[in-house]
Structure 1
Amino acid sequence: MSVRGLLGRSVLPQAESMTATVDLLRSAALPWRRRPVRLPGLALVAAATAAAVGLHRWLPMVSPLLSAILLGIAVGNLAPPGPRYAPGFAVASRTLLRLGVALLGLQLVVGDVFGLGPGVIGLIVLTVVLSLAGSLWFGKFLGLSPAQRLLIACGTSICGAAAVAAADGVVDGEEEEAAAAIGVVVVFGTLLLGGIPLAVWLLGLSPQAGGLWAGISIHEVAQVVAAGGLIGSGALATAVVVKLGRVLMLAPVLVVLGVRQRRAHTGRTGARPPLVPLFVAGFAACVALGSSGVIPGPVLAGAAQVQTVLLAAAMFALGTGVRLATLRALGPRPILLGAAATVWISVLGLAGALLVG
């Protein structure tokens, strides 16, 4: 038998078998090799979040969400992270963001909100609806994009930066639009933090009316707590519960936005957006859990801290994708809308406080 015949009968089949085995192992390992490495991006997000939260503890008046997104914008423009950081940033700006919004529901106790009475509850609903409608109308008048005016309207009408981030998860606006909305909402909410307690003193309003005005007008939950403390101990409880009543409006507003997104997607290719986004269902579940009374107070306090950390991490990741040139291109119109929306909800809140309080 020739050498060629020997190789053809024995060696070559073994070689082909070994080659096939190697190819099979490579194909099995390929998904693991292609799986994005998230650690570098998440490590940078963790460091930036720690800096933002640390600054907030040193200067409580500085929102960790605002400082986180400003830090992200600075990093993204001065020393843009490479592609290896992108997978970690994607996890922070999506998954961590949605977890943070869902955990926000643990702060709500539905019984406390119902304890305000039908008059105050009706005032909360009416104020949120009128604030959204007025802000959206003025945003359209200014020529802002639908996503931009929705983000600012939700932030000023419901619960500040958390509402902006939650709405952005449904309407999917541009990163620059979300960053501008968060910055505008936090800045004007901070102005209300000092302005409303001063106005309560100048107008001689009662602590009850002052707390109602603060809770129904100021954008961020933390800002409402600070303003209620400045007005007086009698105003703090009212301000916080009224504010949480506004936060409770987040779920139905997001469901309405989700329905609109599904209708807008009709006739297009690709999967339709869900009727109720998963993180909105998580928010509702956390509201039910927080209202049940089964979670101890220290655990709720810890969850509130975790929620702040998660949202700050998401803000930093979002900020890294923002370019100043694009942000400048948005012009002063987002600021004008933020100012007008803040004045509008403040007027509505004052009218309601004088009527009900």
Structure 2
Amino acid sequence: MLEKGNRANTLHGILLIALFSFAAFYIAEVPVVRRLSFSPLIVGIVLGMLYANSLRNKLPETWVPGIKFCTKQVLRWGIILYGFRLTLTEVAAVGIPAVAVDLIVVVVTILGGVLLGRLLKMDRDTALMTSTGSAICGAAAVLGAEPVVKCEGYKTAIAVSTVVIFGTLSMFLYPVMYRTGMLDGLTDTGVAVYTGSTLHEVAHVAGAGNAMDPTDALGIAGTATITKMIRVMLLAPVLVVMGFVLAGRRKSAGGKKEKSKIAVPWFAFGFIGVICLNSLLQYLFGVESVREIPLNGAIEYADTFMLTMAMTALGTETNLAKFKQAGAKPFVLAGLLYVWLLVGGYYVTKYLVGML
């Protein structure tokens, strides 16, 4: 993609996406946007979609390879570097209940979403992407699944849109439920695990957790974030399994006995490797938080920028006509999964946290 003869045009496309991403970072710091906890990733895809529906046809098509470079290579490196936000110590900190709840939520959401997608007669890739975003970590999970599923960019954007809508709703709803006593059946730890295992984005968990426990005196905000990060760690094994399953599906769909290449997401192993490295660095430097590891903050910032570039690039491939083509079914599916997370997640948390 960065061949010598096409390098200049490709770099033009990358620069265009980088400029949009800088704008996304700036807009994300605007007070109103910040209060809504819209990360640069979300702002980036919105900017990309605005571009797709306005100036997309007025710029050279020779820049497209640079945009696609951002949706592939930049995306994969962004997912790998995402591992610097996590350590194995965080898993041990919250114990078996959080891990168990996360596992059930992720497995049931993905499998249930795929089955519901069939009942709704949805496109299988859109159903899988939407389910993955709801199950694991919102936009980052959708981005991680995109190279494995190999679907069109607009399907990825639709899946991200469902995450934004229902995740943002949850961020405001959970504190209201907590204050009105609707979560009184859970302990403080239970509320934290419930929040971390059912909300979509890391930013949504942080926002809801801080609203319920601003000083973290009850341990809700911190434990909710750690529970969420354990859920993020499940992205790697999910992508590996997904790669094997989809390889078999594509083989049977072709109706031939030819060998089917299994799309093993090697970047998922890189993600796990970085988590292990980060855990080692935390031990060597003797710090309590990953943010205290030297250069960790700079790496996280760079990683967020790379993921923002990927989101923006995906947004540029999405126009309103494609949303109309997809129809309301993806949002119906996301709504049904949201009900499961809201209600089913509550009872799963109540049972497992009380038992384990």
TM over 0.5: yes
Residues of 2 paired with 1:72 and 1:98: CA distance? 19
Alignment-derived partner of residue 289 in structure 2: none
Aligned counterpart for 2:301 among listed residues 291, 305, 320: 305
Supply the AA of the counterpart residue of 1:169: P
Residues of 2 paired with 1:211 and 1:271: CA distance? 43
Residues of 1 paired with 2:306 and 2:197: CA distance? 25
Residues of 2 paired with 1:216 and 1:120: CA distance? 8
CA drift of 1:140 comes to: 1.6
CA drift of 1:112 comes to: 1.7
- Say whether 1:51 aligns with 2:30: no
Q: Which moved more, 1:234-243 or 1:201-210?
A: 201-210
Residues of 1 paired with 2:73 and 2:4: CA distance? 21
Supply the AA of the counterpart residue of 2:27: L
**CA displacement, residues 255-308 of structure 1 (integer Å, 9 cap, x when unaligned):** 01111233234457798244x322112111111112221475352222222221
CA drift of 1:40 comes to: 1.2
Alignment-derived partner of residue 283 in structure 1: 271
TM-score after normalising by structure 2: 0.86
Alignment-derived partner of residue 24 in structure 1: none
Alignment-derived partner of residue 336 in structure 1: 332
Q: Unaligned regions of 5+ residues in structure 2, if any?
A: 286-291
Matched position secondary structure for 1:219: coil
Q: 1:93 to 1:342 in 2, by over 3 A?
A: same
* Maintained 8 Å contact 1:36/1:87: no
Q: Which moved more, 1:261-270 or 1:224-233?
A: 261-270
* Maintained 8 Å contact 2:247/2:261: yes
The equivalences for 1:117-132 within 5 A come to 117-132=95-110
Q: Which moved more, 1:164-173 or 1:54-63?
A: 54-63
What is the aligned length?
A: 326
* Maintained 8 Å contact 2:237/2:268: no
* Maintained 8 Å contact 1:197/1:210: no
Alignment-derived partner of residue 235 in structure 1: 220
* Maintained 8 Å contact 1:136/1:149: yes
Matched position secondary structure for 1:322: coil
Supply the AA of the counterpart residue of 1:33: G
Residues of 1 paired with 2:293 and 2:339: CA distance? 35
Aligned counterpart for 2:230 among listed residues 245, 257, 260: 245
Alignment-derived partner of residue 198 in structure 1: 176
Aligned counterpart for 2:261 among listed residues 242, 255, 272: 272
Residues of 1 paired with 2:136 and 2:192: CA distance? 17
Matched position secondary structure for 2:94: coil
- Say whether 1:98 aligns with 2:76: yes
The equivalences for 1:20-59 within 5 A come to 32-35=4-7, 37-58=9-30, 59=33
Matched position secondary structure for 1:209: helix
Residues of 1 paired with 2:303 and 2:204: CA distance? 16
- Say whether 1:346 aligns with 2:324: no
Supply the AA of the counterpart residue of 1:63: S
**CA displacement, residues 68-126 of structure 1 (integer Å, 9 cap, x when unaligned):** 11211211221113212112102111111111111111212112212322233222211
* Maintained 8 Å contact 1:214/1:228: yes
Residues of 1 paired with 2:93 and 2:176: CA distance? 28
Alignment-derived partner of residue 207 in structure 1: 188
* Maintained 8 Å contact 1:48/1:68: yes
Which protein is bigger by CA-based radius of gyration?
1
- What do you get for the CA RMSD once the two structures are aligned? 2.0
Aligned counterpart for 2:152 among listed residues 174, 179, 192: 174
Q: Unaligned regions of 5+ residues in structure 1, if any?
A: 1-30
Q: 1:200 to 1:34 in 2, by over 3 A?
A: closer
TM-score after normalising by structure 1: 0.86
Aligned counterpart for 1:254 among listed residues 216, 231, 239: 239
Alignment-derived partner of residue 107 in structure 1: 85
Q: Which moved more, 1:129-138 or 1:240-249?
A: 129-138
Q: Taking every aligned residue pair, what percent have the same amino acid on both sides?
A: 31
Residues of 1 paired with 2:187 and 2:78: CA distance? 35
Residues of 1 paired with 2:346 and 2:298: CA distance? 34
Supply the AA of the counterpart residue of 2:121: G
Residues of 2 paired with 1:185 and 1:268: CA distance? 38
Residues of 2 paired with 1:299 and 1:187: CA distance? 34
Alignment-derived partner of residue 26 in structure 1: none
